[in-house]
Amino acid sequence: MRKINVFDTTLRDGEQSAGVNLNFQEKLEIAKQLERLGVDIIEAGFPASSQGDFASVKAIAQTVKGSSITGLARSLERDIETTWEALKESAEPRIHTFIATSPIHMEYKLRMTPDQVVENAVAAVKLAASKFPQVQWSAEDASRSDLAFLARIIKEVIDAGATVINLPDTVGYTTPYEIGQMFRYVSENVPNIDKAILSTHNHDDLGMAVANSLAAIQNGAGQVECTINGIGERAGNASLEEIAVALQIRQDHYQANTGLTLKEIKRTSSLVSKLTGMVVPNNKAVVGANAFAHESGIHQDGVLKNKETYEIITPELVGVSSNRMVLGKHSGRHAFKEKLQELGFNGTDEQLQRTFTAFKDLADKKKDITEEDLFALMTEATVGSAQTHYELETLQVNYGTTNIPTATITMKLPSGETVQEAATGSGSVEAIYNTLERVIDEPILLMDYRIQSTTAGRDSLAEVYVTVKYDGAESSGRGTAHDVLEASAKAYINAVNRTINRKLFNEQRTNPIKV
């Protein structure tokens, strides 16, 4: 049984999804959960792209030791030096450098000849190999590259020190048959290919990212690059959970496995969904809400007689549990702490106390507390604990079908002063946001507003995601509460606080990254 290395790029390629903007603490929490899942390699970011990415990659490299941490770098000396500074304290420093190899990219984007591309790639890999024990080199747009040229440049970069060769389908153009041909060609025509691991990285523009990844594995790939929930720019990337479960369920066919702790899949999916604001579709394979639901009477009858009639994946395999009550309002702090640790909580005592207080408040309002509820509270406490500048203290909304909706809000300002304001709107949420804008006393444009529930039932927690434009920058925010309107207010304030924190972070690092 071949072991396939899992290279997760949720924090780099996944974060490039439109509207996704993870902060420092959120990236760190996702990285720790990916380590818990058993991911072999975590691509933590692109260190040379910004001060924020550099700091996040460095912090993840210093914290996560169970997975190899890597950072993306262009074939530029500055990128490689910066990536080394970010990753030199990791357990296994690893770099991912790349250059485009397709005719269209070389001519129109790089404006380089094939010989110049080879020279550039070799120089970059040699520099990287002088610092990093593991060097991954990617042929950007490999699926649209000339195969003979691909074989030539791969041989040269392996001689220069590359230990992993990645052949990405950058624009989601290829088919399973074609990608299989490409991997076979490289395996048969690169004389030193035995000195490197072949890797596959596929985008989902034509809906074939997972199929292409599996076809590459069948044809020699020893590493697969993917993201949680398949997020990523444009139509996204190959979905980690779908590839991992496909290899597990069809070991007879693929003769390969990932070694991941599959029961952590659902928890990882939920965390990424909550922090990115990208809702998992109900019919999403493996982790969607309907993945283990049976509506048809014929299906229900079959499952009752023998689950294997219609259920090839058991919910327990990926960590899906029933929404039974796990704790109640009489549960003590010790039992609560043990349950949170079982769910992967590793926060501070202050965060634990904050979560416990929120749990007790929720237990007074909601009869059945589920794991999803606890996970939502836990996430709010551990990654919502960044510095707050505006803080909601009280909220009151007056609404009636014949009255003008009015919101009255008491809020603590960055100065420490507490103010109270009121405003009207055409609806309750608009009234709240008009009031908050009046308190903040600066124009704020609401660009997106979404709401969902943590579980089924009328007493479910509400989760609200917003995108606002404030102080010249777009920022996302989220809020969780038993009441929809309170969650809406929290999400709006969270977006403003995130914008201020990002501005302060950038002001503290006005000089270029020095290496």
Q: Count of domains in the chain?
A: 3
Beta strands of 54-179 (E only): which ranges?
68-74, 94-100, 134-140, 164-169
- What's this model's pTM, rounded to 2 decimal places? 0.88
Task: Find out whether 252 is annotated in a ligand binding site.
Answer: no
Residues 242 and 314 reside in one and the same domain: no
Asked if 200 and 240 touch (Cβ cutoff 8 Å), the reply is no
Distance CA 169, CA 139 (A): 9
CA dist., res. 294 & res. 309, Å (int) = 12
Residue 483 phi/psi, 5° resolution? Answer: -105, 135
pLDDT in tens, 3-56: 999 999 999 999 999 888 898 889 999 999 999 999 999 999 999 999 989 999
Percent share of the chain, pLDDT over 70: 92
pLDDT at 74: 97
Identify the CATH number of the domain in which residue 237 sits.
3.20.20.70
Main-chain dihedrals φ then ψ at residue 300, nearest 5 degrees: -60, -45
What's the confidence (pLDDT) of residue 515?
A: 31
Q: Which of 98-112, 338-352, 495-509 has the highest mean pLDDT?
A: 98-112
pLDDT at 513: 40
3-state secondary structure 307-336: HHHCCCCCHHHHCCCCCCCCECCCCCHHHH
Residue 455: DSSP 8-state = S
| Range from 55-59, 122-126, 291-295, 459-463 carrying the lowest mean pLDDT | 291-295
471 among annotated binding-site residues: no
pLDDT at position 16 is: 92
What is the Cα–Cα distance from 307 to 447, expressed in whole angstroms? 45
Quick one: pLDDT at residue 342? 78
Angle at 433 between CA 430 and CA 439, to 5 degrees: 145
| Same domain (yes/no): 169, 90 | yes
Q: How far apart are CA 309 and CA 353, in angstroms?
A: 46
Q: Is 482 annotated as a binding residue?
A: no
Strand partners, 450: 465
Unique residue bearing structure tokens 């207080």: 357
- pLDDT band for position 294 (50/70/90)? low
Element (H, E) at 440: helix 428-440
Asked whether residue 372 carries a pLDDT value surpassing 90, the answer given is no
Quick check: 377 and 362 in contact, CB under 8 A? Answer: yes
Express each pLDDT in 62-75 by its tens digit. Answer: 999 999 999 999 99
Helices (H), 106-250: 114-129, 147-160, 176-189, 209-218, 240-249
- 263 plus 335 within the same structural domain: no
- Looking at residue 291, what is its pLDDT? 87
515 inside domain: no
Do 257 and 302 fall within a single domain?
no
| Helix, strand and coil in the chain, % to nearest 5 | 45, 20, 35
Two tokens, residue 423: 């405003």
pLDDT tens per residue, range 251-269: 999 999 999 999 999 999 9
Q: pLDDT value at position 137? A: 98
* Pair 135, 230 in one domain: yes
CATH at 474: 3.30.160.270
Query: Could you write out the three-class secondary structure of 295-310?
Result: CCHHHHHHHHHCHHHC
Note whether 167 and 140 are within 8 A (CB): no
Which residue, of 244, 276, 308, is where some domain finishes?
Answer: 276
What band does 180 get if pLDDT is binned at 50, 70 and 90? very high
**Which of 13, 85, 25, 73 is CA-nearest to residue 49?**
73
Give all strands of the β-sheet with 406-412 in edge-to-edge order: 391-398, 406-412, 418-424
Give the sheet arrangement for strand 462-470, strand by strand: 444-453, 462-470, 473-481
Q: What is the mean pLDDT of the chain?
A: 91
* Tokens of residue 124, six digits: 């970059």
Contact present, 170 and 182 (Cβ < 8 Å) = no
| Residues 243 and 344 reside in one and the same domain | no
Domain identity same for 339 and 421 = no
Whether residue 96 is found in the same domain as residue 200: yes
Together in a domain, 242 and 338? no
Domain identity same for 450 and 325: no
d(CA 495, CA 501): 10
Predicted confidence at residue 510, as pLDDT, reads 45
Q: Are residues 11 and 101 in the same domain?
A: yes
Asked if the model's pLDDT at residue 303 lies above 70, the reply is no
Specify the 3-state DSSP secondary structure of 102. Answer: coil
Burial of 149 (0-12, 13-18, 19+ CB in 10 A): middle
Q: Measured between alpha carbons, how far is 428 from 399 in angstroms, rounded to an integer?
A: 7
Asked if residue 328 has pLDDT above 90, the reply is no
Question: pLDDT at residue 512 above 50?
Answer: no
- Quick check: is 453 in a domain? yes
Q: Indicate if 117 and 143 belong to the same structural domain.
A: yes
> DSSP code of 131?
T
Backbone angles phi, psi at 10, to 5 degrees: -60, -40
CB contact at 8 A, 162 and 136: yes
Contact between 166 and 200 (Cβ < 8 Å): yes
Classify residue 320: in a domain, yes or no: yes
What pLDDT shows up at residue 511? 44
Under the banding of pLDDT at 50, 70 and 90, the label for residue 102 is very high
Domain boundary among 360, 381, 402: 381
3 state SS of 107 = helix
The residue with greater pLDDT, 18 or 78, is 78
Q: What is the DSSP string of 392-429?
A: EEEEEEE--TTS--EEEEEEE-TTS-EEEEEEE-SSHH
In a domain, 288, yes or no: no
| pLDDT over threshold 80, residue 485 | yes
**Whole-number pLDDT of residue 388:** 82
Establish if 386 belongs to a structural domain: no
Q: Tell the residue number behind the tokens 């493996």, with chain if given.
A: 286
Domain contains 342: yes
Domain boundary among 246, 276, 306: 276
- Give me the domain span that covers residue 354: 297-381
* Whether the predicted pLDDT of 299 surpasses 70: no
pLDDT per residue as tens digits for the range 468-478: 999 988 989 99
The residue among 333 and 227 whose pLDDT is bigger is: 227
Which pLDDT score, from 0 to 100, does residue 385 have? 52
Would the annotation count 120 as a binding residue?
no
Q: Is residue 54 part of a domain?
A: yes
- Cα three-residue angle 244-248-252, rounded to 5 degrees: 135
- Is residue 154 one of the residues assigned to a domain? yes
Tokens 């100065």 belong to 415
Residues near 45 by Cβ (< 8 Å), separated by ≥ 6? 11, 12, 15, 27, 53, 54, 56, 57, 60, 71, 72
Which range among 81-90, 106-115, 383-392, 413-422 shows the weakest confidence by mean pLDDT?
383-392
